[in-house]
Amino acid sequence: MASNNLATTLEQEKITSNQLAHQCNLNRSTVMSVVRKKRTPAPSTLELMVKHLNRMTKKSYTVEEIFPPKVRRLRSGPQPAR
């Protein structure tokens, strides 16, 4: 299961997953899967969700705040050894 701060942020901002899905033009089940930490979306979807979250709240959340780097690495596959 992927970790993210989306559910907490939506609750703090009093925004429903349905509202975010509508603003992002995403399927409600897609957003709910992310909120419930059942699915890690593609990087472009992460950016889209944060972009619209910022528009809705008039704040400046970053992708890293809502979706920590560990989440993005899981989605993009294994990282090369350093």
Question: Tell me: the pLDDT tens digits for 45-56?
Answer: 999 999 999 999
CATH classification of 6-75, choosing from 2.10.109.10, 3.40.47.10, 1.10.260.40, 3.40.640.10? Answer: 1.10.260.40
Q: What is the pLDDT of residue 47?
A: 97
Domain residue ranges in the chain: 6-75
Nearest-angstrom CA–CA distance, 28 and 33: 9
Q: What is the pLDDT of residue 78?
A: 57
Q: What is the pLDDT of residue 77?
A: 57
Q: Where do we find the tokens 């294994």?
A: 78
pLDDT at 68 over 70: yes
